[in-house]
Structure 1
């Protein structure tokens, strides 16, 4: 399925927040405790999303005029890739990542890094990312992965 991938605007903050929270609660809850999900979710209220937009290149995936996915690039670090649970497995995450990769290549970034959730580790591995190490932030475990960019 083809999605419209575009830069996020301040008007998208509420919808992005809803996508992130829904994804955390449905998809990530399989790999993390309710406490970790709640803690991470606090970082994605609409006001926080607006602040992040000022610091990162943030993109959204739109389907039938609704934001159903998001991804950000913070210099050479992939951040906050979330796909609404009802749209997972349809190629949207790959489309969002392709857009981030284009932006990174345009910025002459040679290597992308991602602090992956346990939930998304296999997704990034399918895109060619390789695991470097695990990191722990309290009870939250993330998997640091890298992808070398050619061109």
Structure 2
């Protein structure tokens, strides 16, 4: 199983949408009520992904040219890190985050921030992110986390 990490293209938008919606429905649904999942899904339609591709640096992980995961960087904010449920726990999210970190270093970013879901808090914590605060958006709880990038 050879995973490739690359910059996303507009042709990847349907697959990115599929990966995110699958992850929301199978993984995040364990931590959030159905109405929150339904609301969040609306932000990740194919059309929404196409728009995000013009606003952020979006990356995908592929196996045999099939998109299985995604992550993006919006200036200094990590966003939309999702791995297909059947591939979670295999290090693919970590590979995407290594790419994000490399881009951050190349852009002289000193602090990475991430608005984490409850579901992903442990993932980011293992990567060295620390909780700053909780935010509530209606019934959706987000954990704001950050990580300093050391250049020494």
Q: Aligned residue pairs: how many?
A: 151
Unpaired runs of 5+ residues, structure 2, are: none
Question: Which residue is equivalent to 1:16?
Answer: 16
Unpaired runs of 5+ residues, structure 1, are: none
- TM-score scaled by structure 2? 0.98
Is the 1:76–1:112 contact (alpha carbons within 8 Å) kept by the matching residues of 2? yes
Question: Which residue is equivalent to 1:127?
Answer: 127
Question: Which residue is equivalent to 1:29?
Answer: 29
- TM-score scaled by structure 1? 0.99
What RMSD, in angstroms, separates the aligned Cα atoms of the two structures?
0.7
Question: Which residue is equivalent to 1:104?
Answer: 104
Tell me the secondary structure at the aligned position of residue 47 of structure 1.
helix
Is the 1:8–1:60 contact (alpha carbons within 8 Å) kept by the matching residues of 2? yes
Q: Deviations over 1:47-89 (max 9, x none)?
A: 0000000000000000122100000000000000000001000
Q: Deviations over 1:73-130 (max 9, x none)?
A: 0000000000000100000000000000000010000000000000000000000000
Alpha-carbon distance in 1 for matches of 2:117, 2:90: 19
Cα deviation, residue 3, structure 1: 1.4
Alpha-carbon distance in 1 for matches of 2:73, 2:123: 17
Alpha-carbon distance in 1 for matches of 2:2, 2:71: 16
